[in-house]
A = this chain, B = another copy of it.
């Protein structure tokens, strides 16, 4: 596109949206760079050329039609945070960011039927405040930090901290409105039936349901989305259980699976009391040794230190007596099966929690992030643990077994020894996250520094290696920044990449010129593949 064409494009946007809602030029576009980028200020960084902020769905459709006429790719964002996964930066240089921040209305929250309908610019803070102001007895499941949006987070398949089916933010959506690449407005599920009152109660409607195409993809611009909410439980309770030996983790995981799949517990935190020994160089060497330590050596270290090998923190939501019954059951079940296991009652109180209860850091779930998350309160606690200027994230999905955890510890631990300046993310104590409803994930989140390209290069190469080595073992990433989306997509290669080829066929049918986010999720339309 030449300068005159670009100027004409911006003029059309200005005519449609108003002067003040169209931006271009380096300083205006600075906020649309990914400040967590490992390729910051390098040739690999992806830069948008302009940004536009429509006020409503009609303006979104107008923007899409204008972009289509000019064959310019749009990159839709909701609040544009998504740090660690590319922030607001596009897959394709020269894209126009379609910033939906002005569409920030909470359209409906129904207490008796436990749902919300929101626009993309609504943040978790906004929705939380709306619920508090109206005094509704509903609980959000929030990611951290809370300035992201339910729509953006769920389309990225973000997760939270409460009960299993609410933690999967995409899975808990119900009903979607989308502007398609030709500017038409579509609604999924019961939203397709005029006058239906059940758009947020039944997700499927009749016939096929295309909703899944709009997560981590580029088939349209989501402009409204409904979410199921957890009725505010009357009571909250925590407890922790420790087990002495390394192999006890096998049974511990199986019991936690049972409790979770039975709906008795919320998100759990696995950890190891042995982390306290990392300061001892001999223990550190053992926990990070090539090929992984022998169980007996780890058990000997634990015994010498008088520490248990593993801990799990549990949380319970519900009527007070039910949370007690569920915690008693969890203790009985695990302590009767694992010799030497110990249980510690945590704190417990009616909901909503007082400020003091919420910030009580002497208890399980004792970081600000986790406690706020567990109680459905959005915060910015994540910033307490961001190192350097930010990080990128690789969160591979692995089987929900202890043996899979041990294998990831060993395989990725060994693979990343090539990068000795990075922290030993994968070592004999690396724990799985149990965020998504039924699966484990691991964390690899190496930092970036704006003024240290050599460090960033290490992070960048380590990310690519981790993705590749993990894939050799069947552990796939669930979410990625644009600069890694092709790498990750390539690892989902069953039958000569048929899933990607199928998506390309569909994309070509509705958006051959790639007006909506070409390359997102690894899907390139015909024009860009050629």
- Chain B residues whose CB sits within 8 angstroms of the CB of A397 once the complex forms: 190, 196, 198, 201-202
Name the residue on B nearest A209 (C-beta). Answer: B212
Contact with B along A106-125 (1 / 0, CB 8 A): 00000011110000000000
Chain B residues in 8 Å Cβ range of A165: 165
A471 surroundings in chain B (CB, below 8 A): 193
Min CB gap A476→B, angstroms: 4
Q: Considering the chains assembled together, what is the distance between the CA atoms of A215 and B210 in angstroms?
A: 10
Say yes or no for A473: interface residue by CB 8 A criterion: yes
Please state the number of chain copies in the assembly: 2
Q: Assess whether A217 is in contact with B206, with CB atoms less than 8 Å apart.
A: no
Residue of B with least CB distance to A520: B207
Query: Given that A186-B499, A206-B521, A494-B187 are contacting pairs, would A325 and B329 also be in contact in the complex, using a CB cutoff of 8 Å?
Result: no
* A322 and B325 contact, CB distance less than 8 A: yes
A477: interface (CB < 8 Å): yes
- Asked whether, in the complex, the Cβ of A438 is within 8 Å of the Cβ of B228, the reply is yes
Which of B263, B438, B439, B478 touches A163 (beta carbons < 8 Å)?
B263
A436 within 8 A of B: yes
Name the residue among A186, A264, A324, A493 with the largest chain B CB count within 10 angstroms.
Answer: A186
Docked-complex contact B438 and A186, CB < 8 angstroms:
no
A211 CA / B499 CA spacing, docked (Å)? 11
Check A170 against B204 for contact (C-beta < 8 Å): yes
- Does A194 contact B494, Cβ atoms closer than 8 Å? yes
When distances are taken between beta carbons in the complex, the residues of chain B under 8 Å from A195 are: 472-474
Query: Is A205 at the interface (CB under 8 A from chain B)?
Result: yes
Binding-face segment, A45-53, A95-103, A377-385, A503-511: A503-511
| A337: interface (CB < 8 Å) | no
Distance to closest chain B CB from A369 (angstroms): 23
The tally of residues in A whose CB lies under 8 Å from a CB in B reads 107
Of residues 153 through 206 on chain A, the ones whose CB sits less than 8 Å from some CB of chain B are 157, 163, 165, 170-171, 174, 180, 184-188, 190-198, 201-206
Given A206-B521, A439-B198, residue A192 in contact with residue B322 (CB < 8 A): no
Q: How far is the CB of A135 from chain B (nearest CB, A)?
A: 16
Q: Which residue of B lies closest to A327 (CB)?
A: B322
Residue A261 CB within 8 A of the other chain: yes
Q: Does A65 contact B (CB under 8 A)?
A: no
- Chain B, Cβ-Cβ closest to A200: B438
Q: Is A455 an interface residue (CB 8 A)?
A: no
B329 A319 Cβ-Cβ under 8 A: yes
Question: Cβ of A193 and Cβ of B474 under 8 Å apart?
Answer: yes
- Decide if A202 touches B494 in the complex (CB within 8 Å): no
Are B215 and A209 interface neighbours, CB within 8 A? Answer: yes
Within 8 A of B (CB), among A195-236: 195-198, 201-217, 219, 228-231, 233
CA of A185 to CA of B494, assembled, Å: 9
| Bound complex: CA A192 to CA B478 (Å) | 12
Contacts of A231 in B (CB 8 A): 257-258, 261-262
User: Are A208 and B217 within 8 A (Cβ)?
Assistant: yes
Identify 26 residue pairs between A and B in the complex whose beta-carbon atoms are under 8 Å apart, listed by A's number.
A112-B401, A113-B400, A114-B261, A163-B263, A170-B204, A184-B498, A187-B499, A192-B499, A196-B475, A198-B439, A202-B397, A202-B436, A204-B212, A204-B216, A204-B478, A206-B216, A206-B491, A206-B521, A208-B214, A210-B213, A210-B503, A228-B438, A262-B317, A322-B326, A506-B509, A506-B510
| 18 new A-B contacts at CB < 8 Å, known A210-B503, A322-B322, A322-B329 | A113-B401, A114-B258, A180-B498, A185-B498, A188-B499, A192-B498, A197-B474, A201-B438, A205-B499, A206-B216, A206-B492, A207-B492, A209-B212, A263-B263, A319-B326, A325-B325, A506-B506, A508-B509
Chain A residues packing against B (C-beta within 8 Å): 112-115, 157, 163, 165, 170-171, 174, 180, 184-188, 190-198, 201-217, 219, 228-231, 233, 254, 257-258, 261-264, 317-319, 321-322, 324-326, 328-329, 397-401, 404, 436, 438-440, 471-480, 485, 488-489, 491-495, 498-503, 505-506, 508-510, 521-523
